[in-house]
Structure 1
Amino acid sequence: MQQWQKSTVYQIYPRSFQDSNGDGIGDINGIISRLDYLHDLGIELIWITPMYVSPGNDNGYDIADYYQIDPIFGNMKDFENLLKEAHKRNIKIIMDMVLNHTSNEHVWFKEALKSKNNPYHDYYLFKDPVDGHEPNNWVSKFSGSAWQYVPTLNQYYLHLYDVTMPDLNWRNPKLRQEIFKMMTFWADKGIDGFRLDVINNISKAAKMPNDTFKTPTDDGRNFYTNGPHVHEYIHEMYRKVFGPNNFVTVGELSSTPVSEAVKYTNPNREELSMAFTFHHVKVDYTNGKKWTLGKYKLTDLKSIISDWQVKMHQNHGWNALFWNNHDQPRAISRFLNDNKYRDQSAKLLAVVQFGLQGTPYIYQGEEIAMKNSYFTDIKQYKDHESINAYNTMLKNGTDKSTAIKVLQQKSRENARIPMQWNISKNYGFTTGIPWLKSIQKDNYSVETVRNSPNNIFNFYQRLIKLRKRNTTLIEGSYKLLDHDDNSVYSYVRIKDETKILVMANFTEKIQLRTVNSNYNLILGNYGDFYKKDKVVKLRPYEALMLEKKDG
């Protein structure tokens, strides 16, 4: 058993975590100032989203210099101090790394634009026009065509994401060596691992289809998701960087089936430590479309989670367990009740998550039940993806009010409002003007929550400690109970003679459920446990973790 399988990861979006110098943007010294807080919570790994030099068109995921810290966050000396202070507290640092694309301001791309004969031209994916059009009809994940025309070259370059983020050509061995050299630079600095952004997209089909213009239903992902050489490339990374440095690695694997995720994370294959997948947080997409007012069914959510739990366990894969991150709206607002039953809802999500097999992730603010930003005007948004989606909705006939409601439900900006440390001005995040301003008046903050009885922060502390010592939660098999129950999510974890039963009422109505065996309460979000004969009474949004030992 690896230590990272027993540990809990805390994700920091540095821009919104803690500002130390009053410029309204969170920074490295702000993170350092909160390390004791994270240690007190019980965190042993921190994942920090990109802090490299970047023009900021995608909040740092458009990297212009892989080797330098962006001045808005501090400098290399600050980062080295962060590593030292984190390690002093037995906290490991996982850096976010983007290897699918760079910023168009990266020196490689600037050189690539100079000439087709420039050696850096082949670091990217350029294609000639086809019948005066783009090479094919692939769609950017940020809306519009995935191809951008360069008149001086009479070629298009591929950008699966923003137009300012050209995709790298991983078929070029020189490019791969540059990447491994850069990753080794950070390993030598003393980091403890990488979270690899959209890593399953790095291998594009050698012959990109040029006839898909006639079939606009295909957005192109079948030709680049989990591509032909992706496992070969990641295994090469493992041999040259991950293995020698004993790294913890997390692969973001969007649109990846469990059969592929097993390949990425089975330790015998020497690729990644764990899989970060999104099927469960797409459960409220209407007909698979994100930018809609969607509703979810608990039965669908249970089916997705259960499929991954069972198959990853059977095939020795490993899950990253999460409800929230910087790219997702807050789960408490999305799936439960962030108003009357806010505390119960936050604790319910924690119980369900920590009861599953995998490494749990807490996204900043989740431990104090932060909720969606609920912006009311498009001018309040900074995120390019959200703004593009809004404009596309209006273009397609959606009225402004509905478009804003869709963003309130689905925009990733919901999770990016600054961390709420106290209830002073700007919630103690900054003495200046926050880069993204909250419009809410919310009395939930680190200070107020920790001073309240039976609080969410303490509940997370207990769960983190429990997981470290309970091998059933780490190694046990998983079994879903009552598949068709659309109100209560119940499952069992089993190891040897121990069974742990998790029951969670996802409604505001009292639910009665039959439990045949005698279980003892490990913990619950109401603090107690009502059972008469074989019937358990679950109050609104109640979650229980119960244990039974045979023999």
Structure 2
Amino acid sequence: MSTHPWYKSAIIYQIYPRSFQDTTGDGIGDLRGIINRLDYVASLGITAVWLNPVYPSPNDDNGYDVSDYRGIMLEFGTMADFDELLTGLHARGIKLVMDLVVNHSSDEHRWFQESRKSRDNEYRDYYHWWPAEKGTPPARFSYFDPTGGWTYDETTNAYYLHYFGHKQPDLNWQNPKVREEVKDVMRFWLDKGVDGFRMDAFQFVGKDTTYPELPPTTAANAVAVYGLRPEVHGYLREIKREVMDHYDAFTVAEGAGSTIQDAVDLSSPEREELNMVYHFEIADYAAKKERFDLIGLKALFTKWDQGLAGKGWDSIYLGNHDVPRMVSKYGNDSPEHRVASAKCLNTLLLTMRGTTFTYQGDELGMTNVDWPTIEPYRDLQARNQYKTALERGDDMNEHLSFLNKFSRDNARTPVQWSDKSNAGFTTAEPWIGVNPNYRSINVVAQEADPNSVLHHFRQLTALRKAYPVLVHGGYEPILPEDGRIFAYVRTLDEASLFVAMNWSEETVDCVLPELFVGGRPLVDNYGSANGEEDIDSNEVNYSSLNLQTSSFCLSPWQAVVLQSSTPKP
């Protein structure tokens, strides 16, 4: 029996409820839609679901502006629906991780509504206020508001602070009453049986309430300037000691600071703060680039793996609700290479050390959109960026091209279930447009194709479950200076696996470590699969591989996992 905590071997599937499945005909995904698709979710071989916010919200930021931390958004259903979803997941052996959005609330939350009534209101210090008679408050950056991080509220002649949208006022964590409120909210959901929390924007909860002048800030350096102040560690230890230690659940916080040491401090078991970190360096490295540098990307994976080895625990992800589709960002989404490159990227996700996260639709190889105007965009950040660019006089065709590549809405288009109207997501007008390629990229089509991205994903989850070396084993990079091949050896006790991926549109030769000459292929995205449950079958066709010499050939975006001659663990 494994002595490792369950969350280390978890295979987490992220569900963005608004875009998963609509059952009420209002064009918005709901909890009943997830319930109706639970057999599909379970068939993926995942072991946990991360559910984006389902709390009541005015949806200024698609649920990340919470107006009630103990309720369910009316558009999504009822608390009874949530309870049924949780029961259904647990019955299938799947755990549930909730999004916890407590750096800020909605301005429609009762706490803020009380806070803005008067300066002596009992909830006044739940938020950050700057009296107008003191003059203009020190500049603060806002991710979503181009005018800055303070908004004037005339009721009490004061400004309130928000690092995100103006309808997302930041909570004052220096107030112990706020911390008690948050801990009570966590207990409410844990007592229901949820299995963990992904703590949104938690790196920003620490603030100096003397509000000193800070360096000029942009999105590029906001985490370094504002993130992970020393008091954050104390807040996390308080949560761990007073809440999480009393449940078999885990915490992962968005953002790990700017250094490996930050990540170690957050996730080291001895520090008793978080169970794992969810950092941005790899996601940011590939952001806003026409073509990222594979050598640099590999170096980052190696840096984080070696930096955390034996000290902390990492999250492995390439996609989520805040970034473009992974196959469009890291791979090649052309008709010729989409399938192979999507499989290649999933191979990376499911063979690295750490807890793996897959975003809905990436098991299908869903792609970015290509919208010619701003009208289809729903994301607050995208629309504000467009408005700012327009006011600056930017080339708006270039700016739209930028949004089509990097907007968060790329990941928020509905899951493509079939080639029927609106991809089988809804019978109504969807809240956000469906990607037109749903006619060829959808679940029904891929279920019928044994060589689809979907079936390959299931092979990989079965492989990860069968081989603990992929979760806990050491990581040795191979060919670190090669600009086309991403390869490494995973080793645990007597078990060794070799992962080799060609991240290019060319056929290349790859060195084969001596231990793996004559070895056995376990998964090959160019092989003909006979069923994802049959990863050990010698009947799988791997005719493209010649493993009898010190090198072998990899086709464009080919990805293989090879076993050495040592016995299976």
Under a length normalisation based on structure 1, what TM-score does the superposition of the two structures give?
0.94
Q: Which residue of 2 aligns with 1:244?
A: 246
Q: Which residue of 2 aligns with 1:357?
A: 353
Q: Does the CA-based 8 Å contact 1:55-1:62 persist in structure 2? A: yes
CA 1:136–1:489 in 2, change beyond 3 Å: closer, same or farther?
same
CA 1:539–1:67 in 2, change beyond 3 Å: closer, same or farther?
same
SS in 2 for 1:250: strand
Letter in 1 for 2:294: L
Per-residue displacement from partner, 1:84-126 (whole Å, max 9, x unpaired)?
1111111111111101000000111111111111111100011
Give the Å deviation of 1:169.
0.4
SS in 1 for 2:70: strand
Q: Which residue of 1 aligns with 2:470?
A: 473
CA distance in 2, matches of 1:501, 1:327: 32
CA distance in 2, matches of 1:535, 1:220: 45
Q: Which residue of 2 aligns with 1:486?
A: 483
Give the counterpart of 2:108 among 88, 100, 105: 105
SS in 2 for 1:53: coil
CA 1:218–1:415 in 2, change beyond 3 Å: closer, same or farther?
closer
SS in 2 for 1:119: coil
Q: Does the CA-based 8 Å contact 1:476-1:494 persist in structure 2? A: yes
SS in 2 for 1:380: coil
Q: Which residue of 2 aligns with 1:417?
A: 413
CA 1:423–1:150 in 2, change beyond 3 Å: closer, same or farther?
same
CA distance in 2, matches of 1:115, 1:220: 31
Give the counterpart of 2:449 among 444, 449, 452: 452
Q: Does the CA-based 8 Å contact 1:347-1:543 persist in structure 2? A: yes
Give matches, 1:284-303, under 5 Å: 284-285=286-287, 292=288, 294-303=290-299
Tell me whether 1:204 sits opposite 2:207 in the alignment: yes
Give the Å deviation of 1:254.
5.6
Per-residue displacement from partner, 1:487-521 (whole Å, max 9, x unpaired)?
11112212233322211111101111222412331
SS in 2 for 1:490: strand
Give the counterpart of 1:322 among 317, 323, 335: 317
CA 1:388–1:469 in 2, change beyond 3 Å: closer, same or farther?
same
Q: Does the CA-based 8 Å contact 1:7-1:468 persist in structure 2? A: no
SS in 2 for 1:391: helix
Q: Which residue of 1 aligns with 2:531?
A: none
Give the Å deviation of 1:217.
11
Q: Which residue of 2 aligns with 1:348?
A: 344
Give the counterpart of 2:383 among 387, 392, 413: 387
Shifted more, 530-539 versus 18-27: the winner is 530-539
SS in 2 for 1:280: helix
Q: Which residue of 2 aligns with 1:288?
A: none
Q: Which residue of 1 aligns with 2:493?
A: 496
CA distance in 2, matches of 1:549, 1:412: 45
Give the Å deviation of 1:248.
2.3
Q: Tell me the percent identity.
A: 37
Under a length normalisation based on structure 2, what TM-score does the superposition of the two structures give?
0.91
CA 1:389–1:216 in 2, change beyond 3 Å: closer, same or farther?
closer
Q: Which residue of 2 aligns with 1:232?
A: 234
Give the counterpart of 1:91 among 61, 77, 94: 94
SS in 1 for 2:29: coil
Q: Which residue of 2 aligns with 1:56?
A: 59
Q: Which residue of 2 aligns with 1:430?
A: 426
Give the Å deviation of 1:407.
0.5
Letter in 1 for 2:450: P
CA 1:399–1:106 in 2, change beyond 3 Å: closer, same or farther?
same
Q: Does the CA-based 8 Å contact 2:305-2:353 persist in structure 1? A: yes
Shifted more, 149-158 versus 39-48: the winner is 149-158
Q: Does the CA-based 8 Å contact 1:489-1:505 persist in structure 2? A: yes
CA distance in 2, matches of 1:367, 1:466: 15
Letter in 1 for 2:436: Q
CA 1:487–1:397 in 2, change beyond 3 Å: closer, same or farther?
farther
Q: Does the CA-based 8 Å contact 1:196-1:249 persist in structure 2? A: yes
Q: Does the CA-based 8 Å contact 2:354-2:472 persist in structure 1? A: no
SS in 2 for 1:376: coil
SS in 1 for 2:97: strand
CA distance in 1, matches of 2:10, 2:284: 26
Give the Å deviation of 1:218.
9.7
Letter in 2 for 1:323: L
Tell me whether 1:514 sits opposite 2:499 in the alignment: no
- Give structure 1 stretches of 5+ with no counterpart: 286-291
CA 1:452–1:105 in 2, change beyond 3 Å: closer, same or farther?
same
Give matches, 1:83-232, under 5 Å: 83-129=86-132, 132-133=135-136, 135-144=137-146, 145-210=148-213, 212=215, 221-232=223-234
Give the Å deviation of 1:550.
5.6
SS in 1 for 2:24: coil
CA distance in 1, matches of 2:562, 2:133: 62
Q: Which residue of 1 aligns with 2:44?
A: 41
Q: Does the CA-based 8 Å contact 2:204-2:226 persist in structure 1? A: yes
Q: Which residue of 1 aligns with 2:559?
A: 543
Q: Does the CA-based 8 Å contact 2:254-2:278 persist in structure 1? A: yes
Q: Which residue of 2 aligns with 1:338?
A: 333
Q: Which residue of 2 aligns with 1:32?
A: 35
Letter in 2 for 1:162: G
CA 1:391–1:547 in 2, change beyond 3 Å: closer, same or farther?
same
CA distance in 2, matches of 1:420, 1:297: 31
CA 1:514–1:308 in 2, change beyond 3 Å: closer, same or farther?
same
Q: Does the CA-based 8 Å contact 2:520-2:565 persist in structure 1? A: no
Shifted more, 440-449 versus 168-177: the winner is 440-449
Q: Does the CA-based 8 Å contact 2:127-2:160 persist in structure 1? A: yes
CA 1:398–1:168 in 2, change beyond 3 Å: closer, same or farther?
same
CA distance in 2, matches of 1:395, 1:300: 36
Q: How many residues align?
A: 542
Per-residue displacement from partner, 1:347-396 (whole Å, max 9, x unpaired)?
10011111110111111111111111222210010111011112223333
Give the counterpart of 1:534 among 540, 547, 550: 550
Q: Which residue of 1 aligns with 2:523?
A: 523
CA RMSD for the aligned pairs? Answer: 2.0
Shifted more, 186-195 versus 62-71: the winner is 186-195
Give the Å deviation of 1:147.
1.0
CA distance in 1, matches of 2:236, 2:565: 42
CA 1:455–1:534 in 2, change beyond 3 Å: closer, same or farther?
same
- Give structure 2 stretches of 5+ with no counterpart: 528-541
CA 1:514–1:130 in 2, change beyond 3 Å: closer, same or farther?
farther
Q: Which residue of 1 aligns with 2:538?
A: none
Per-residue displacement from partner, 1:307-346 (whole Å, max 9, x unpaired)?
111111142x111111111111001011211121111111
SS in 1 for 2:500: strand
Q: Does the CA-based 8 Å contact 1:497-1:549 persist in structure 2? A: no
CA distance in 2, matches of 1:89, 1:426: 29
CA 1:100–1:483 in 2, change beyond 3 Å: closer, same or farther?
same
Q: Does the CA-based 8 Å contact 2:215-2:225 persist in structure 1? A: no
Tell me whether 1:463 sits opposite 2:430 in the alignment: no
